[in-house]
Amino acid sequence: MEKQRKVILSFSDRDREPIEFPILSGTTGPDVIDIRSLHGKSGMFTYDPGYLSTASCTSQITYIDGEAGVLLYRGYPIEQLAKQCDFLEVCYLLLNGELPNATQKTKFDDTIKRHSMVHDQLASFFKGFRRDAHPMAVMVGVVGALSAFYHEAMDISDASHREVSAYRLIAKVPTIVAMCYKYNIGQPFMYPRNALNYVENFFHMMFATPAGDYKLNPVLVRALDRILILHADHEQNASTSTVRLAGSSGANPFACLSAGIACLWGPAHGGANEACLNMLGQIGDVSRIGEYIKRAKDKDDPFRLMGFGHRVYKNYDPRAKLMRETCHEVLNELGLQNDRLFKLALALEKVALEDEYFTSRKLYPNVDFYSGIVQRALGIPVSMFTAIFALARTVGWIAQWNEMISDPEYRIGRPRQLYNGAVKRDVVPISQRK
């Protein structure tokens, strides 16, 4: 029998015996020190703002090796999934742990289709928003409002209720995203169409109007499908951890997803592709790359090369390679090979990758360096980019939420703190205060 490995913590400033903690191993990736008994044994907490060294849960869904540039969903490399599967197959995989066979896939696709319409009353929520409201502001409100429509399936301890909530969210979020866009530009909402597949239907709800026919382009459909696959899950990132923390109190999945959307909205998380596109516009021309590279290296200048660097990927972002490929395909299809921003992006990437500042810091293009260019070419306005990210990540959030609720070790999330404020003192009557 394998001997249980332990780590021994000794306290240099305290008169006490060293304490042993077990080391836990996953199927791959770094081991973790199980410090759950630390407070009970020592009266101390650990301090780790930003969770730089803390695993908050166990999970079987997504694995990232940032040094090697590896991203696996349920063990499958992202490259294989992006090239051989469609988004709904990936959704099935993330939710169930295995890829569907042909019968399971047909059934799953049909189930999602059956849930894609939203309750007609949900449409009236939109009227409460200004036409120019940011789509993410509308998403936070409207996705949260879904909580009010499904009382019959809100028992989170019931696996069948959790399952139908997952179907509802995966099916209805695209409808809501498209409604945000239509409301913003003042066009009528388009109902979903069951004859179309998931991504085709999204294009239809976004760009068709009741007045005319809308022709789908399979190359563009495939490109959006790939964007969705690449963003479907990314283990315990900020928005996913938010969904888990909100869900740990027993909150319903629609409310938890709304919390995740709010977190994703932040510019350090879901807003990077928008920022990258704005940066390329600001640089404007290949002749100005040198100037901006210099600014990115200047510690006194807050400017950073958007779409470069990643907290986890310190070699390359595997999603960026796939997105670069898609970028070529889409621009070729649309006859935009000479697109100014794409050419600029390629030139900028080349200069940065040959520059010692970027190579020594392991700063490589991330997925968002190219996804903004692709989305813009698909006709998606910049203000909708983060909403598309939310659409893609919905399955990751709900799969992670479901995993947490099903975990026998699941407890309400409750971090502790290092208190640094005033110590106990007495209230002085107001007349005596200085």
- Chain residues that interact with ligand CMC, rule: CB under 6 A: 234, 269, 272, 296, 304-311, 361, 363, 366-368
Write out the catalytic residue numbers: 310, 368
| Comparison of 206 and 374: residue with beta carbon closer to ligand CMC | 374
User: What torsion do the CA atoms of 100, 102, 106, 109 make, to the nearest 10 degrees?
Assistant: 40
CB of 231 to ligand CMC, least distance (A): 8
CB of 367 to ligand CMC, least distance (A): 6
CB of 405 to ligand CMC, least distance (A): 24
CB of 426 to ligand CMC, least distance (A): 43
| Comparison of 193 and 314: residue with beta carbon closer to ligand CMC | 314
Q: Record the tokens describing residue 189, joined without a space.
A: 């909402």
Strands (E) across 51-128 are located at 62-65, 70-73, 76-77
| Comparison of 371 and 402: residue with beta carbon closer to ligand CMC | 371
- Label residue 362 left, alpha or beta by phi (over 0 means left) and psi (-120 to 50 means alpha): left
CB of 280 to ligand CMC, least distance (A): 12
User: What torsion do the CA atoms of 305, 306, 312, 316 make, to the nearest 10 degrees?
Assistant: -70
Strand order in 32-33's β-sheet? 6-9, 19-24, 32-33
| Comparison of 272 and 405: residue with beta carbon closer to ligand CMC | 272
- Which residue is it, tokens 């970027």? 358
DSSP 298: -
Q: What is the rounded CA–CA span in Å between residue 370 and residue 329?
A: 12
| Comparison of 192 and 271: residue with beta carbon closer to ligand CMC | 271
Give the largest Cα separation in the chain, rounded: 80
Q: What is the rounded CA–CA span in Å between residue 163 and residue 156?
A: 10
Closest CA to 343 of 272, 285, 279, 277: 285
Residue type, 384: M
Residue nearest to ligand CMC (CB): 309
Strand, coil or helix: 14:
coil
CB of 205 to ligand CMC, least distance (A): 26
CB of 340 to ligand CMC, least distance (A): 21
Q: What is the rounded CA–CA span in Å between residue 79 and residue 97?
A: 18
Strands 62-65, 76-77: pairing kind: unpaired
Q: Record the tokens describing residue 176, joined without a space.
A: 């809501």
| Comparison of 247 and 270: residue with beta carbon closer to ligand CMC | 270
Closest CA to 53 of 81, 75, 31: 31
